[in-house]
Structure 1
Amino acid sequence: MKYHDGSCQATRVAGKLAGIKKIAVLQASTPGDFIFTLPALEVLRHTYPRAEIVLLGQSWQAAFLHGRPSPIDRVVIIPAYKGVNTASHSEKQRDEQTQFFSRMQAEHFDLALQMQNGDRDTNTFLLKLKARVTAGHSTPDGPQLDRCLSYTLFQHEILRWQEIVALVGAPKNGSTQPRLTVTATDLKESLQVVPEDTRPLVALHPANNDPRSRWPGHQFASVGEALVREGMRIAITGSEQETDISAQIARQMKASALDVAGKLTYAGLCGLFSRCRIVIANDAATQQLASCIGTATIGLYWCVNMLTRGPLNRQRHRPFISWQLSCPTCGHNQLYGNCGHLDSLLTDISSDQVLSSARELLKA
């Protein structure tokens, strides 16, 4: 989706609101995007300690947050809605939307926050809740909210959402480190897939939704082999849709590795990563997940993604940045649009660099 910079014409007022008993937060996006909102949601919780915070999200969020301490009190799964979580065309979907908004209006939200983007579809959705006050981003093509900021492209996502909650009185000096609690259920699931072993555990996550943002597979395999020789145990992670990528890495490694792609939920990955000494991953939700629970990470980023999604501290995190801008096939500069080729733009990050950082983190 393409966003345009533009001025928000609604009043840019800030300050804490009075009489806030129930807050709706629209965030029905990917796990990585949700994780970036956590510091802002923590500050929101401290600002309105007695308010009920209701996340309007997806089924994976309801399952993941069930029984897990978080700023969220309750998750409501939203129906299919164009531009928010999926395309919407059928009569059945329109009926589900009508019923959903009727229920949400009956909740009488005092405040509704749009923490997804700010375009026409998401802001239209938010306004249909009929909350007393609305806040979030706005783009020129979308309806504007009571308190808003213009959506700009190149801003770190954690800081972006902290600015949004600041519109409703949350202080700007909160932590920038997302945090998640690992539960006994997380650990139990991970142990069923990856039993205990005397060797230290390292996870490799070679997948990414965009092939251009994947570090080459043979580089992952090279680092994995070297760590096995140094006494580590390797687990290769990924989703059910990414099993071909993890299997390729496992085949390329001459040393043994556990291919657990598609075998763990996000909760199970929390449990697994909490047992790892390091997680080495492309810019993906799993890298953010490992960071949330305090595990050391090595992240592999294309330069533009590092601007908006990279770790904001270096105590336990080592990002590597590729500055490769030209498509290896046609030479097109990727800053000015996608040429359609899927070649990796991370080939200038060497396995020696990554291995050196892994050894440093293992000694820490």
Structure 2
Amino acid sequence: MANEARSVEPRHGVGPVLEPFEDVRRIAVLRGGGLGDLMFAMPAVEALAAAYPEATITLLGSASHAALLSDRPGPVDEVDVLPVSEGVRPPRDGEVEDEAELERFFARMRQRRFGLAVQVHGGGRYSNPFLLRLGARHTVGTRTPDAAHLERVLPYHYYQNEFMRALEVVGLAGAAPVSVEATLHVTASERRFAEDLLGQLGADRPIVGIHPGATDPRRRWPAERFAEVVSSALAEGAAVVVVGDETDVPAADVIVAQAEHEAPGRLRSLAGKLDLGELCAVLEACAVVIGNDSGPRHLAQAVGTPTVGIYWLGNVINAGALGRSRHRVHMSWVTHCPVCGIDVTQVGWTAERCPHDESLVAGISAAAVYEDVAQLTATSPLPHDR
């Protein structure tokens, strides 16, 4: 039976804050996935840094995490990119899982002699055995009924805000919350880049950012709806930039083609053209960013920019912004697949996913979204005042 000990003192964060472990000099935090997944973990990492000020914190994450956090101020001291491992880091571009490569990785990690390893990567079916192979003296994390035990664990229930879940996990290690949402520092050189790039759109105009993509196609608002919002923003005098990676270029092209007639020269697609640091700076320069439940919307929030999010109802629970003064949520209440009728609220580690990718958020009104865009644009502070 795993140790789910009560704290000696009645300290509380999101859940109980237990006694810190002694003599912890190195901490590993396991959090793979995308940019949004990283943002979910950042307040927990900040809490660990405050609770263990003498410890070095290593994030075991993805290549995009390493690219974003390299040389950036924050609580993460270093990022080690995860090797391909089922349920922890999926293969890409012909990669395959290699046990010899995994063993080399774990041997290198065991040499670090981690005092504490923290699992904030799902329910633990795959991530807990992975964490245990690091050889840390102490382990904490979540677990589903079929997952390996760690020293201190929380039960994993799919529907929980991910910021709160990660903060509850580090409470097991004695780390009380310092903040509840991610904060990301934009460097001076990144800001200069954005100023030079966006100055062509007019320095005296508010800039509205658009991100039309999402990893899961069911979370994507139709590009035509985004174009309606863009047309309204342009008609009111704003400039607009569309951002995203290479996979978002087709949607960006639809938006530009449908809306550019409204104000030639004030709408520009940067999809597929920015690295992550440049993306952060462009998002920070915007008065407001509109996006699906996706990494760039989370990045915009982390750099201090107001956002309007397009969400399926289940994703609001797990990933929605907590506040409403600077962040607005438009939620689809669809509970069944539009094609086959399967109950799409049954998600998580035990659920079967139907094969259909039809949008679950297509019914959200463009007029309602633009109303929030207009309100936030009118009240948004300048980037240097955030």
Shorter-chain TM-score bucket reads over 0.9
Give yes or no for the alignment of 1:349 onto 2:339: no
Structure 1: gaps (5+ residues):
1-8
- Matches of 1:208 and 1:104, distance apart in 2: 33
- Matches of 1:79 and 1:345, distance apart in 2: 33
- Matches of 1:69 and 1:54, distance apart in 2: 14
Change (3 A) 1:118 1:304: closer
Give yes or no for the alignment of 1:18 onto 2:22: yes
Per the TM alignment, residue 334 of structure 1 is displaced from its structure 2 partner at its CA by 2.1
Instruction: Let me know the Cα RMSD of the aligned residues.
Output: 2.0
Give yes or no for the alignment of 1:313 onto 2:350: no
Per the TM alignment, residue 283 of structure 1 is displaced from its structure 2 partner at its CA by 0.8
Could you tell me the percent identity over the aligned residues? 37
- Kept after mapping to 1: 8 A contact 2:84/2:96: no
- Matches of 1:311 and 1:97, distance apart in 2: 36
The equivalent of 2:257 in structure 1 is 251
Q: Aligned match of 2:278 in 264, 268, 275?
A: 268
- Matches of 1:77 and 1:207, distance apart in 2: 24
Per the TM alignment, residue 105 of structure 1 is displaced from its structure 2 partner at its CA by 0.8
Q: Aligned match of 1:297 in 298, 302, 307?
A: 307
Per the TM alignment, residue 265 of structure 1 is displaced from its structure 2 partner at its CA by 1.7
Change (3 A) 1:113 1:92: closer
- Kept after mapping to 2: 8 A contact 1:193/1:260: no
Q: Deviations over 1:282-311 (max 9, x none)?
A: 111111110111101000101010011001
- Kept after mapping to 2: 8 A contact 1:25/1:55: yes
Change (3 A) 1:83 1:192: farther
SS across alignment from 1:334: coil
- Matches of 1:204 and 1:91, distance apart in 2: 35
Q: Aligned match of 1:214 in 195, 213, 220?
A: 220
- Kept after mapping to 2: 8 A contact 1:273/1:295: yes
The equivalent of 2:134 in structure 1 is 129
AA of the residue aligned to 2:376: L
Give yes or no for the alignment of 1:324 onto 2:334: yes
SS across alignment from 1:279: strand
AA of the residue aligned to 2:3: T
Give yes or no for the alignment of 1:138 onto 2:143: yes
Q: Aligned match of 2:60 in 56, 63, 67?
A: 56
Per the TM alignment, residue 92 of structure 1 is displaced from its structure 2 partner at its CA by 8.3
The equivalent of 1:5 in structure 2 is none
AA of the residue aligned to 1:305: N
- Matches of 2:258 and 2:342, distance apart in 1: 30
Q: Aligned match of 1:39 in 39, 43, 48?
A: 43
- Matches of 2:365 and 2:151, distance apart in 1: 49
SS across alignment from 1:344: coil
Paired positions, count: 355
Q: Deviations over 1:193-216 (max 9, x none)?
A: 544522221111111122221112
The equivalent of 1:280 in structure 2 is 290
Change (3 A) 1:70 1:100: same
- Kept after mapping to 1: 8 A contact 2:291/2:309: yes
Change (3 A) 1:189 1:79: farther
SS across alignment from 1:179: coil
- Matches of 2:107 and 2:234, distance apart in 1: 57
The equivalent of 1:101 in structure 2 is 106
AA of the residue aligned to 1:112: A
TM-score by length of 2: 0.87
Per the TM alignment, residue 118 of structure 1 is displaced from its structure 2 partner at its CA by 3.3
TM-score by length of 1: 0.92
SS across alignment from 2:233: helix
